Amino acid sequence: MPGLLAGKRLLVTGVITDASIAFSVAKLAQENGAQVVLTGYGRLSLVERIAKRLPEPAPVIELDVTNPDHLAGLADKVREHVDGLDGVVHSIGFAPQSCLGGGFLDAPWEDVATALQVSTYSYKSLAMAALPLMSAGGAVVGLTFDATKAWPVYDWMGVAKAGLESASRYLALHLGKQGIRSNLVAAGPLRTIAAKSIPGFERFEDAWTERAPLGWSLTDQEPAARACLALLSDWFPATTGEIVHVDGGYHAIGA
């Protein structure tokens, strides 16, 4: 099939509903010629059901990014479906409730540690688990929420995202010699399961709706997904450690 990602083999994490950013990435990637393997966390039968809504059936491999056995076995499981990987999409985030919604000063370390392990450290873990299948020209892409500012209600997830942004730069540093790129898309607020778990998320929604220069749809995952595809493609061959904002221009505007 012709298209931006013709012939590319992708591993896409993070599909849980058809509103997941990862679902849009997988759908658009298939429509643009890529072969997609999904990973699912927890409710695998649900992920498998959602995967059937993609243009092409996609296999689903179980992956909890905090489980060392899952990570160690990932490359072999992916190899059952494709003979290598050209791109890996990290679309994973989680923080316990204590870490969100204004709980910054009281969240206990155990909860913060979970947020950082799932949302930050996993970027490196996933890339390393997939590395045996990758070669020069390959790309890792993740999703962030602009971590240059402290946002009301985002709290430790904001710290986790700041860490993710740094981790992406370090991955760019350490995998550059192998010709593998690492870039992030900083998306504006989108109504997904992860977003709904943030108490007070509507504050982001109101701010973006009022102020994004290009306007902003809270239910259209496609702009963020398109940017992921572009970064996975051969059209950013000399770009790594970068963060592309897909937020209607909100980040560029003063309060």
Point out which residues pair with 35 in neighbouring strands.
9
Q: Distance between CA atoms of 145 and 165, rounded to whole angstroms?
A: 9
Q: Which residue in 161, 170, 177, 250 is the catalytic one?
A: 161
Q: Check the annotation: does 149 bind a ligand.
A: no
Q: Distance between CA atoms of 216 and 5, rounded to whole angstroms?
A: 26
> Binding residues for ligand NAD, per CB under 6 A?
13-17, 20-22, 41-42, 63-66, 91-94, 118, 143-145, 187, 189-190, 192-195
Cβ-in-10-Å burial (0-12, 13-18, 19+) of 77 comes to middle
Q: In the complex, what is the shortest distance from the CB of residue 132 to ligand NAD, in angstroms, rounded to a whole number?
A: 19
Q: In the complex, what is the shortest distance from the CB of residue 43 to ligand NAD, in angstroms, rounded to a whole number?
A: 8
Asked about 123 being catalytic, the answer comes back as no
Are 115 and 160 a contacting pair, CB within 8 Å? yes
Q: Check the annotation: does 92 bind a ligand.
A: yes
Q: Check the annotation: does 95 bind a ligand.
A: yes
Asked about 77 being catalytic, the answer comes back as no
Q: Distance between CA atoms of 186 and 128, rounded to whole angstroms?
A: 22
Q: In the complex, what is the shortest distance from the CB of residue 57 to ligand NAD, in angstroms, rounded to a whole number?
A: 19
- 179 or 217: CB nearest ligand NAD: 217
Q: Which residue in 41, 123, 154, 250 is the catalytic one?
A: 154
- 6 or 192: CB nearest ligand NAD: 192
- 85 or 224: CB nearest ligand NAD: 224
Q: In the complex, what is the shortest distance from the CB of residue 2 to ligand NAD, in angstroms, rounded to a whole number?
A: 28
- 1 or 193: CB nearest ligand NAD: 193
Q: Distance between CA atoms of 183 and 236, rounded to whole angstroms?
A: 10
One-letter amino acid of 66: T
Listed in order, strand segments (DSSP E) in the chain are 9-12, 35-40, 60-62, 85-90, 134-144, 181-187, 242-246
- The binding site comprises 14, 20-21, 64-65, 92, 95, 161
Q: Which positions make up the binding site for substrate? A: 95
Active-site residues: which are they? 154, 161
